[in-house]
Structure 1
Amino acid sequence: MFLKPTIFLSSLALLLSFASLFLSSWIILPAPNMFLLRLGVAAPEISPGLFLLNLFSLLLSFICIHHPQLQRLACIVSLIGLLTCGWVLVNIAPTQAQMAKAMTQGLGTDYLKRIPVKVSAKMQTHAFSLVHAFRGIPLGKIRHQTNILFATPAGVSLTMEVYQPPEVGKYPAVVVIYGGAWQRGNPSADPEFNQYIANQGYTVFAIDYRHAPQYRFPAQLDDVRTALDFIRQHAAEYEADPERMVLLGRSAGAHLAMLAAYQPDALPIRAVVSYYGPVNLPEGYKTPPSPDPINVRAVLKAFIGGSLEELPNQYQIASPINYLTHPVPPTLLVYGSRDHLVEARFGRQMYKALLQSGNTAVFLTIPWAEHAFDAVFSGVSNQLALYHTERFLAWALFDQ
């Protein structure tokens, strides 16, 4: 027996209003576990689409639900969803203004003028585009090589992927290090970002490293440094300029990027880009986030090989914030204010320490963003982050 059309539409409208609110609620709710964290990451990034979904459910509820109390309930639910998504949308412009201000404070008011016109002409002209949010950020044509073996420590094959501009030439190098709690991941991560950056005129090296808990720190740092040596030795083969190199990492990869670049005997690195990277492991162990969906202490134990009480020196050695006793490369720090894996307070702490030690640094925060916000490449947060990251790269590698 089939439902009458009016009953079906009424039920559909009510169900859609609650479903839309459920999805939108993760813009503000902290995720208690890894499963729900995916919703916490994605919801703010697709907020333009969720806004339309809530608007549609509101209209459908108003038109199709004829029971006064149910209609009122469905409309209220949809309005709450609209307001939640609207919070992100109305804050895009002020967030962009704050990020632009942070860039000029860190790099100088004229930093954009020092970027060659032919380089700046390729960059995005707007920090956020609704068209890109729905249709995707254009990536452009590139050349792509995979499974390039660069080392076999302890019999483990470590490979890299190389993304190159479409035309043969000599380009600055961007070395990308993936995240994954030092326990998982591979060089094929974040291909859209690598393709986009290569199309902007860079040779991008996406590198691998051994994983915890089987391989403990400093194995991962050793692998990154080995990869950098390989890149310098084979730079000409991949049309890269070894004297113009930036390290860029996400989460655990950002931690390794900072560590590798900040070593006293590090190879020359022009700059570092850290997306939500851990910087102070002892403090991270002592004060984990709440909620703690990834179990930070367990992750750190697996990486270091024991607890803070058991291996205090290793935790100190593995903390990038402890390497600011000498000049280090300019650093761009990008964090989400709602990050429940690596809280933004650590990025702010690193930023202050960099400035106090006389180094150049930029600290960007995105109010609604969770950890790994850039997993949604055309999402709201990544559009803002990418806009400033490409300008930072151009400043660091093409500064006239």
Structure 2
Amino acid sequence: MALRRSVGRWLIVAVLLLLAALETLLLVLVFVPLPRRPLLAAASVLAGSWSTAVLAAAALPGFLLVRAVWHSRARWAAWIALVTSAAALLSAFAPYAAAWRTAYDHGEGLALADQFAGSNYALEPDRDRSLVYARVGRHRLKMDVWLPPGSAPRTPRPAVVWVHGGGWESGHRSQTPRWNEWLNDRGYAVFDIEYRLAPRATQLQQISDVKCAIGWVRGHAAEYAVDPDRIVLAGTSAGANLALSAAYTARDDRPRASCPASRDASVRAVVSFYGPTDMAGMIAGQENPGDPAVRRFMGGSYRSASDSFRLGSPAQLVRADVPPTLLLHGSHDRIVPVEQARELDKRLTAAGAVHEYVEIPWADHAFDYNWGNWGTQIARPVLARFLRSHLHS
């Protein structure tokens, strides 16, 4: 019997130490700046987006098991579990508490229970909504059309052209479907587009595809009861970079729209969720900025293809008359540094351009993949006000 109790006690010690290691790993993933490597970045984004839930869940078993070994020779394991569990539990709510101030500044509150509202990510496009908006060489470019429920309105409605993220080389249309549903519920038609991906396409070709999609929506506005003069361009991550670049070069010949019929790619406003704004800065932060794939994507090095870098860098395209811009970025973004958004905000301010910048404390990249976390809870009302202000005035 004594042997059985001893084995059971040391089994609990092993579990406590395992939990302590897990809590420490989660704390590192959530709070420590890590190299921008794919696996580390993905793990950090997942842990950061659900930090309140995962840290609290990791902490509670440690507290529950401490009593079992507290009065034994393994008290040291109990102390380790207590310290790491307390740190995890306090850290679970620290980012959420920091976000309260930002939410308060924008006249909103935060609901802790909404942390468990679920994911905002789809594994594949919504093919029942898909149509071809352009043929570019062998490529058939598609978009998914999301329309508000009910019959067509008496007056044309505003629309959002949505551009997915994925590091310019992955991702798909309708990747974040809850944004489309949320916009539909507020009366906006959504055209969630795809574009040619790297390495087969350059960044300028991708911007051209976005312009082509805008032109298609303008040309088919009557068919979908859309007001062509009330179109907003929005994107996440790499898609936000393409959206900003397309919006800021709408009147320029370069990058030219990939479909000849798309003559007008202008939009009323543009929205960036954690998008890169300076390509030279982004590439300089990569492990191997001289990678041939990077040079193919940009059309050369910064020196030999400086015009391509400029046209793909919204921070270098700022004028006083760029479309009204909303920038949403997490202060703890470990894929697209927050300095990218701050620099664009600074240049827009200096130019006197209409814009709004909201920095979400402790939020990481792709924070809106968790539909209920504090970043998304702040972003939704901010986006709603921005759209009302620029599409209903």
TM-score (norm 1): 0.83
Q: Which residue of 2 aligns with 1:104?
A: none
1:375, 1:135 → 2: CA distance? 11
Structure 2 residue identity aligned to 1:23: L
**2:65 aligned residue (61, 64, 76):** 61
Are the counterparts in 1 of residues 331 and 362 from structure 2 also a CA contact under 8 Å?
yes
Alignment of 1:1-400 (within 5 A): 5-32=8-35, 33-66=37-70, 67-98=74-105, 100=106, 126-136=108-118, 145-170=128-153, 171-263=157-249, 265=251, 267-285=265-283, 287-288=284-285, 292=286, 298=291, 300-399=294-393
Structure 2 residue identity aligned to 1:24: L
1:304, 1:351 → 2: CA distance? 24
Shift of 1:188: 2.6
Structure 2 residue identity aligned to 1:96: A
Structure 1 residues 132 and 244, CA gap change in structure 2 (3 angstroms):
same
1:246, 1:369 → 2: CA distance? 24
Structure 1 residues 62 and 2, CA gap change in structure 2 (3 angstroms):
closer
1:20, 1:303 → 2: CA distance? 39
Shift of 1:368: 1.3
Shift of 1:144: 8.8
Q: Percent identity?
A: 31
1:245, 1:42 → 2: CA distance? 32
Shift of 1:175: 0.7
Are the counterparts in 1 of residues 117 and 370 from structure 2 also a CA contact under 8 Å?
no
Structure 2 residue identity aligned to 1:163: W
Structure 1 residues 92 and 69, CA gap change in structure 2 (3 angstroms):
same
Structure 1 residues 283 and 134, CA gap change in structure 2 (3 angstroms):
closer
Structure 2 residue identity aligned to 1:17: A
**Secondary structure of the corresponding residue to residue 36 of structure 1:** helix
Structure 1 residues 49 and 317, CA gap change in structure 2 (3 angstroms):
closer
Shift of 1:12: 2.7
2:220, 2:384 → 1: CA distance? 25
TM-score (norm 2): 0.85
2:281, 2:27 → 1: CA distance? 32
Shift of 1:318: 2.2
1:264, 1:205 → 2: CA distance? 18
Are the counterparts in 1 of residues 119 and 370 from structure 2 also a CA contact under 8 Å?
no
Structure 2 residue identity aligned to 1:318: G
Structure 1 residues 187 and 165, CA gap change in structure 2 (3 angstroms):
same
Shift of 1:43: 1.8
Structure 1 residues 297 and 336, CA gap change in structure 2 (3 angstroms):
farther
Q: Which residue of 2 aligns with 1:118?
A: none
Structure 1 residue identity aligned to 2:362: W
Shift of 1:346: 1.6
CA deviations over 1:325-357 (Å, ceiling 9, x no partner): 351111011112222332111211111211221
Structure 1 residues 65 and 238, CA gap change in structure 2 (3 angstroms):
farther
Where in structure 2 are there 5+ consecutive unaligned residues? 121-125, 252-263
| RMSD (Å) for aligned C-alpha atoms | 2.7
Deviating 4+ runs (over 4 angstroms): 1-7, 295-300
Are the counterparts in 1 of residues 214 and 266 from structure 2 also a CA contact under 8 Å?
no
Where in structure 1 are there 5+ consecutive unaligned residues? 102-125
More displaced 10-residue stretch of structure 1: 229-238 or 198-207:
229-238
Shift of 1:52: 2.5
1:371, 1:245 → 2: CA distance? 26
**Secondary structure of the corresponding residue to residue 203 of structure 2:** coil
Aligned pair count reads 366
Shift of 1:153: 0.4
